[in-house]
Homo-oligomer: A and B are copies of this chain.
Amino acid sequence: MRIAIQGFEGSFHQIAAQGYFGRHTEVECCASFAELVKKVKQQPDVDAGVMAIENSIAGSILPNYSLLKNSGLHVNGEVYLQIKQHLMVLPGQTLEDIREVHSHPMALLQCMDFLEKHPHMKLVETEDTALSAKHVHQKKLKSTAAIAGKLAADIFGLEIIAPNIHTVRNNYTRFLVISRNGTAPVPDANKASVYFHTSHERGSLARVLTKIADAGINLSKLQSFPIPAREWTYYFHADMEFDDLELFNKGLARITPLTENLKVLGIYKKGNTH
């Protein structure tokens, strides 16, 4: 399998791709989410893509919902990944040797409690966590550490001298597995991603959500978006969880007359959140 990811080798996207497709998955690195979607759509040797869609602290990555909706691609699965940051160095270097720490600004921020306890370390902001690890490896940088995920240490032969230095524990990112393949449900499918418009009529969204609840479907996420062509009207992206695919299909049939442009992006197996 060859899987398109956003970012560089050793990134959290690659960890997510390995978590879903297995450790020997090949990755195709993309410079942006738009490039990721394009490669999954058009490049024959790319079998699927793994794309971050929301984070338990920062919230939804709104532009990725639009990319997905406009791509015509399908959702085939999801992966939840806990974001764990580690301090990594060239083998043999110790905490006392370190003068500079390189990483993405967001990762530096996530490790601020640790970094404040080591004020002699100068912080250097970079483009990417995994790229910082690669840089330390390639340039044989002594006295320099990178903050990145475990896979970056494995790939670039670095030693983790301070593991799990992130302050907030419940920092999870949810990734969607996307492909050109249709929405034929996988075995044991128990989750679906759909989008729809509701009419302007008062209470129309309440009626849709009531039908969903009555059908025994649990709404795990509801995200509203403006419709560019119509000012201040919204469409909704909803994630639904169910025990039985029949229940979902019945629920879907009941909300179809209450919505406009209802589209199923994918029916898949709920990812393990721990």
Contact B222 A205 (CB under 8 A): yes
A62, CB-defined interface residue at 8 Å: yes
Contact A231 B170 (CB under 8 A): yes
A256, CB-defined interface residue at 8 Å: no
8 Å CB contacts to B: which residues of A202-231?
202-203, 205-207, 209-210, 212-214, 216-226, 228-231
Mask of A163-180 contacts with B, CB within 8 angstroms, 1/0: 000001010100000000
Mask of A142-163 contacts with B, CB within 8 angstroms, 1/0: 0000000000000000000000
A183, CB-defined interface residue at 8 Å: no
In the complex formed, the residue of B with least CB distance to A238 is: B224
Stretch touching chain B among A17-25, A52-60, A103-111, A132-140:
A52-60
Contact of A203 among B210, B224, B228 (CB under 8 A): B210
Contact A206 B216 (CB under 8 A): no
Contact A213 B220 (CB under 8 A): no
A234, CB-defined interface residue at 8 Å: yes
Give chain B residues whose Cβ lies under 8 Å from the Cβ of A54.
226
Q: With A210-B206, A218-B202 known to touch, is A231 a contact of B60 (CB < 8 Å)?
A: no
Bound Cα distance from A234 to B213, whole angstroms: 17
Most buried by B among A206, A209, A214, A225: A206
Q: With A62-B59, A202-B213, A216-B202 known to touch, is A224 a contact of B223 (CB < 8 Å)?
A: yes
Bound Cα distance from A230 to B56, whole angstroms: 8
Contact A220 B206 (CB under 8 A): no
Give chain B residues whose Cβ lies under 8 Å from the Cβ of A205.
209, 219, 222
Q: With A224-B221, A231-B172, A232-B56 known to touch, is A206 a contact of B202 (CB < 8 Å)?
A: no
Contact of A232 among B216, B220, B225, B226 (CB under 8 A): B220
In the complex formed, the residue of B with least CB distance to A198 is: B219
Contact of A222 among B55, B59, B222, B226 (CB under 8 A): B222
Q: With A203-B209, A203-B210, A209-B209 known to touch, is A226 a contact of B56 (CB < 8 Å)?
A: yes
A-B CB contact pairs (8 Å), 11 listed: A54-B226, A56-B226, A56-B231, A206-B209, A206-B219, A210-B210, A222-B224, A222-B234, A223-B223, A223-B224, A232-B273
